[in-house]
Amino acid sequence: MEISKTLQPRSALLFNKADRLELTLCQNLNRMGAFRPVRLFFKAISRLGDGVFWYSLALLLPLLMGMDSIAALGHITICALLCVAIYSQLKNRLVRQRPFISWEAIRAHTAPLDLYSFPSGHTMNAVNFALLFSAFYPPLLWLVVPFAALVALSRVILGMHYPTDVLVGAALGLTIGWGSLLIWPAGMFAGINL
């Protein structure tokens, strides 16, 4: 893990207030992880949400859609890379500590990828992927939307994020995915023969 950075006084005050407002909900959800079956289930969901689920789905897409899916996968990949760039920059600039670091009452039920929690990168990517996979292959909606919701929930239950981290991550993922479809309704690589 990297050395903790310091927040600007204004950001620190805002996060401190938000942390205190969210603590009870965060604790209640985190306590669910004390039950081994719940903890193992959400650890698995979170691990799959690291990319395993989405990359596997991407590999299956050509079987479902044929070679036309390559253009859709290009669009999805560009948006995923944009998500990673945005949440990495935000986390490193806003440096909100993870709940289990800030509060003794919150347990880490999995290992963190870094020190900071705002916004939730897992949720941001999950919502972006769910939206785009659903847009390009609508029958997947019933699989990807519930999975994205479970990924978001897992991040709070496992003690990695506050609810606002997840909500902001979801909003950003939705904005990136939806925005890309508004600009390129058929996908940014539509009409390109691959």
pLDDT of residue 19: 63
* pLDDT for the residue 10: 56
pLDDT tens for 6-19 read 545 556 656 666 66
Active-site annotation holds for 109: no
Place of tokens 């990359």: 55
Per-residue pLDDT for 4 more than 50? Answer: no
Question: Helix/strand/coil (H, E, C) string of the chain?
Answer: CCCCCCCCHHHHHHHHHHHHHHHHHHHHHHHHHHCHHHHHHHHHHHHHHHHHHHHHHHHHHHHHHHHHHHHHHHHHHHHHHHHHHHHHHHHHHHCCECHHHHCCCCCCCCCCCCCECCCCHHHHHHHHHHHHHHHHCHHHHHHHHHHHHHHHHHHHHCCCCCHHHHHHHHHHHHHHHHHHHHHCCCCCCCCCCC
* 150 has pLDDT over 90: yes
Q: Where are the domains of the chain?
A: 32-183
Catalytic position from the list 96, 109, 155, 161: 161
Of 39, 109, 122, 155, the active-site residue reads 122
- Taking the alpha carbons of 108, 114, 116, 122 in that order, is the dihedral positive or negative? negative
Q: What's the pLDDT band for 3 if we cut at 50, 70, 90? A: very low
75 catalytic? Reply is no
Decide if 157 contacts 31 (C-beta within 8 A): no
Condensed to tens digits (0 to 9), the pLDDT of residues 64-123 reads 778 778 888 999 999 999 999 999 999 888 877 888 888 888 888 888 888 888 899 999
